[in-house]
Chains A and B, each alone.
Chain A
Amino acid sequence: MKILVPIKRVVDPYAKVKALADGTGLDTAGLKFEINPFDEIAVEEAVRQKEKNPAIEITVVTIGGAECEEQLRKALAMGADKALLIETADVMDSPSVATELAAVAGELAPDVILMGKQATDDDCNQVGQMLAAKLNWPQATFASKLDLTNSSALVKRETDSGEETLELSLPAVVTTDLRLNEPRYIALPGIIKARSKPLERRAMLTQPKLLTRVTRYEAPPTRAAGRKVGSVDELVSVLRERGAF
């Protein structure tokens, strides 16, 4: 059984990121980059499935610049078998990422594509569903539990009002939510040890045609500064004055 895990390199999700003063981009100077946290959960899940079923082969793939090797190496250190770096300097939007990933899936023929529900930089929450549509595969988004057999996936997923369990026949796309697992910690020596695992670099198979582009980045409107109150009594009376209760 083959699992394909698309991962994205994103700016450290705990860093304070600002727009550049001229509005043309983001100021990420000096900030760390990481595997998108939801993709790290996807890698972890694939590895846990492999621990249960050693016949599983895990390929991680990313579309981006040469610097993404760092994130692929980390995924290999976590336990993925192979990595594919689709090198491009092009600006991508979700449809172009989904189109390229669909071409990769066409070639590698995975049984499951396990990926993040959203990238914490663009917060789009689009690629997994678009990819599933392009491949005409069933999808289960926001997974919090995954049971795989050779022909089906049983996925518990988070919904607006609670949870639901879906049964999908494979091949299928599953996107991860926060509570699927807690990714293992990989120290630097582990990453260096994984250097012997195969990492292939190649160019895009498809030609990106942008359907959207960002024309401006700016700071969000700020809220007026608040104040501290001295006691519960004061808090309740201010709230009453403002008509909150």
Chain B
Amino acid sequence: MSRLLLIAFDATEAENGAAFGQKLGLPWDVLCLSGDCSADLGAEKTFKSDRTCDDPADGLASGLLALVRGYSHIAAISSMRSKDVLARLAGLLNAAMVTDAIAIESPSLFKRPIIAGAVIATVEVLAEPVVITFRPAGFGSANRAGSSASESISLSFESTAKVVATTARGGSRPDLTQAKIIISGGRPLRDAETFERVLGSFADQVGGAVGATRAAVDSGIAANELQVGQTGKIVAPDLYIAAGVSGSTQHMAGIKDSKIIVAINKDPDAPIFEFADLGLVADLFEAVPAMQEKLK
């Protein structure tokens, strides 16, 4: 039977993932692993788990196994956590998997970027079930309609791995994947203090998030969860301001869905100017404070 289960790690993911559920064109249910998701997302059934989902992937995947049997499609928004858990689930199911779907051609045909977004591949699924992670930016927002039946379920997560420590930095700024404005910086920001003083204060002034290149993260200028790109976060804000970012393929792979990309770079030949909607050739240490002044 063709049916989709959307796995949402929290209620926001259920909202942001609902458009995928609607576009796939199959009857679908949603499992919300923490929090309460709304009943008007277009799903037939809403499963509410009695457990939160901080468990290691092996426990989560085996806990989900009983519930996902009977579904032809199992999907979640792309994140490090969903890739950790869903690929393991696909392994347990001996299932096909499509990572980072950006478009649905049919329930067995999906488009996804490969080689850091340099090429788009159309992937045909040859056998069901299929496990999918998808980037929500490709699917727009969901039509709110209907009222799904809610069911509480009990999942048992038994993990052989033990969580010894967690550092969730978070803070007061919006999440990178949700932010409307992102101020992002690269290697020239020098150190964590400079990054925070120059870009952090700008982000706070405009209510945005901060992002960084791999070079900035590798040199300790920014925290790892702020890395944007092929192997970091994929973002889609209304405004992405990249200051002191060269524009490598790997970085650009993470920001292509931004509505407006602004580049501030002192090298007029920096590759980022090929992609930016608006480019300013300037020293970021002068341009950024000047922008802040203008916006006061």
Answer yes or no: B168 CB below 8 A from chain A CBs: yes
Interface residues of A in 101-147 (CB under 8 A from B): 117-118, 120-126, 128-134, 138-142, 144
- Give the complex CA separation of A93 and B126 in angstroms: 11
What's the minimum C-beta distance from B170 to chain A, rounded to whole angstroms?
A: 6
How many contacting A-B pairs (Cβ < 8 A)? 249
B120, B121, B181: residue with the most chain A Cβ atoms closer than 10 Å: B121
Query: What are the residues of chain B within 8 A of A165 when measuring CB–CB?
Result: 163-166
* Residue ID in chain B nearest A124 by CB atoms: B99
Interface window among B26-34, B41-49, B274-282: B274-282
Answer yes or no: B53 CB below 8 A from chain A CBs: no
Q: Is the CB of A226 within 8 A of B88?
A: no
Answer yes or no: A168 CB below 8 A from chain B CBs: yes
Answer yes or no: B273 CB below 8 A from chain A CBs: yes
Interface residues of B in 199-247 (CB under 8 A from A): 206, 214, 217-218, 223-225, 230-231, 233, 238-239
Query: What are the residues of chain B within 8 A of A154 when measuring CB–CB?
Result: 164
Answer yes or no: B89 CB below 8 A from chain A CBs: yes
Q: Is the CB of A166 within 8 A of B121?
A: no
A16, A26, A211: residue with the most chain B Cβ atoms closer than 10 Å: A211
What's the minimum C-beta distance from B201 to chain A, rounded to whole angstroms?
A: 16
- Give the complex CA separation of A114 and B239 in angstroms: 39
Interface residues of B in 150-180 (CB under 8 A from A): 159-170
Q: Is the CB of B260 within 8 A of A141?
A: no
Q: Is the CB of A168 within 8 A of B161?
A: yes
Q: Is the CB of B79 within 8 A of A160?
A: yes
Q: Is the CB of A211 within 8 A of B95?
A: yes
- Give the complex CA separation of A215 and B239 in angstroms: 34
Q: Is the CB of A214 within 8 A of B125?
A: no
Q: Is the CB of B278 within 8 A of A229?
A: yes
Q: Is the CB of A217 within 8 A of B91?
A: no
Interface residues of A in 142-179 (CB under 8 A from B): 142, 144, 154, 158-169, 172, 177-179
Given known A133-B92, A164-B166, contact A159–B81 (CB-CB < 8 A): yes
Given known A159-B225, A226-B278, A236-B291, contact A214–B121 (CB-CB < 8 A): yes
Query: What are the residues of chain B within 8 A of A142 when measuring CB–CB?
Result: 80, 84
Interface size on B, as a range, is 35 or more
Q: Is the CB of B83 within 8 A of A125?
A: yes
Query: What are the residues of chain A within 8 A of B66 when measuring CB–CB?
Result: none
Q: Is the CB of B217 within 8 A of A179?
A: yes
Q: Which of B81, B167, B256 contacts A220 (CB 8 A)?
A: B256
Answer yes or no: B1 CB below 8 A from chain A CBs: no
Q: Is the CB of B124 within 8 A of A138?
A: no
Query: What are the residues of chain A within 8 A of B57 when measuring CB–CB?
Result: 129, 139, 141
Answer yes or no: A207 CB below 8 A from chain B CBs: no
Given known A126-B90, A212-B125, contact A166–B170 (CB-CB < 8 A): no
Q: Which of B127, B273, B295 contacts A236 (CB 8 A)?
A: B295
Given A160-B79, A166-B162; 13 other pairs, CB 8 A cutoff: A94-B97, A121-B114, A123-B100, A134-B91, A138-B58, A164-B167, A166-B161, A177-B224, A212-B98, A215-B109, A218-B119, A223-B256, A232-B290
5 shortest interchain CB distances as A-B pairs: A133-B91, A130-B91, A211-B96, A129-B87, A226-B277
